[in-house]
Amino acid sequence: MSTIPSTVRITEVGPRDGLQNQPGTIPTDVKVRLVDALSASRPAEIEVSSFVSPKWVPQLADAADLLARIKRVPGIVYSVLVPNMQGLEGALQAEVEKISVFTAASETFNRRNVNATIDESIVRFVPVIAEAKKAGKQIRGYISCAIACPYEGPVDPQQVAEVSRHLVDAGVDEIDLGDTIGVAVPSDIDRLYDAVGTVVEPAATTLHMHDTRGTGLACIVRAMELGVARFDCSVGGLGGCPYAPGAAGNIATEDVVYCLHRMGIDTGIDFDQLIEAGRVIAAHLAGEGRSLPGRMFNARCAAQGLP
């Protein structure tokens, strides 16, 4: 227990990872209200969108417009995903503080996701990272399939450690380990950090859990016991799993923040404002007959007699 961090850094990924995995496209003005409401809840970081080709991810085609219209709150880091030099140019024009590059620990996944081997994708990032550094930006390196791959099954933690090493060598400031399909259990987190911990300090990594099988929070609690203090979450559990349509997606921010605050761990997040942010997107989804899956979000709304 004594190793548990007293402060945890939350990156709100709902506007990017959540909306990317929702069916259909959300109007930009709803996204602006969502991001502004999230800013009022004061997470450490908001991953706002992605400068990938609108052909690949039409849900996030309005990245530039969205970033121009949100009200940025000093102290919150606003970040975006960039797949290549063209994406970086968009990110620099939008004046974000941080960019994220992304690869995977599974060759099959990476080939299907970005049509490149893992090594090729990292080589491709080298000039992107150099240019971003020159512009004074922070750089996150995502590793998808850190636990398992939808095509290959379980992923060897040593492979995750190796990809982490390559990303650190390439110059990223932060390694983000994603359980992309939400299969992890606490013993997987032990094995993951046994391997990755030889390359980077657990405290220098971010864990990105999906709650597809209800195991996300148990894994986060275990990771905190190993010294991990940065987590990605999605407001209301916004999102889904592209490999199991209908299943839950990212771990819900409210579930994590409720648990951490009750355990005496500070996140800096204003919980009531976080619920308000969830209600912005819940109200929009209700119009399409859909709802948010987050447990704590629904419990709070139910307790307050809210829709």
Interatomic CA distance for residues 178 and 62, integer angstroms: 25
Q: Which tokens is 68 given? A: 């121009």
Q: Is there a catalytic annotation at residue 241?
A: yes
Q: Does 263 bind its own copies (CB under 8 A)?
A: yes
CB of 80 to its own copies, least distance (A): 28
Q: Does 253 engage in binding with its own copies (CB under 8 A)?
A: no
Q: Which residue has the tokens 């859990």?
A: 209
Q: How many residues bind its own copies (CB under 8 A)?
A: 41
Name every residue whose Cβ is closer than 8 Å to that of residue 38 and which is 6 or more positions away in sequence. 12, 14, 15, 46, 235, 274, 277
For its own copies, which residue of 221, 270, 284, 285 counts as binding (CB under 8 A)?
A: 221
Which range binds its own copies by CB under 8 A, 31-39, 51-59, 82-90, 262-270?
Answer: 262-270
Distance in angstroms (rounded) separating the CA atoms of residues 211 and 216: 5
- Catalytic site residue from 149, 241, 259, 301: 241
User: Is 232 a binder of its own copies (CB under 8 A)?
Assistant: no
Q: Is 298 in the site for its own copies (CB under 8 A)?
A: yes
User: CA–CA distance from 189 to each of 1, 42, 292 (Å)?
Assistant: 16, 28, 27
User: Any idea which residue has 């933690």 for tokens?
Assistant: 157
Stretch of 103-111, 124-132, 217-225, 266-274 contacting its own copies, by CB under 8 A: 217-225
Is 287 a binding residue for its own copies by CB under 8 A? The answer is: no
Stretch that binds its own copies, among 25-33, 137-145, 172-180, 181-189 (CB under 8 A): 181-189
DSSP strand E in 170-243: where? Answer: 174-179, 205-209, 230-233
Q: Are 188 and 222 in contact (CB under 8 A)?
A: no
Residue 16's Cβ-side half-sphere holds a number of Cα atoms within 13 Å equal to 24
Decide whether 246 or 287 has the Cβ nearer to its own copies. 246
Residues 6 or more apart in contact with residue 304 via CB below 8 angstroms? none
Q: Does residue 188 belong to the site contacting its own copies (CB under 8 A)?
A: yes
The catalytic residue positions are 241
Residues making contact with its own copies (CB under 8 A):
1, 182-183, 185-188, 190, 211-215, 217-218, 220-222, 241, 243-248, 252, 254-255, 258-259, 262-264, 294-296, 298-299, 301-303
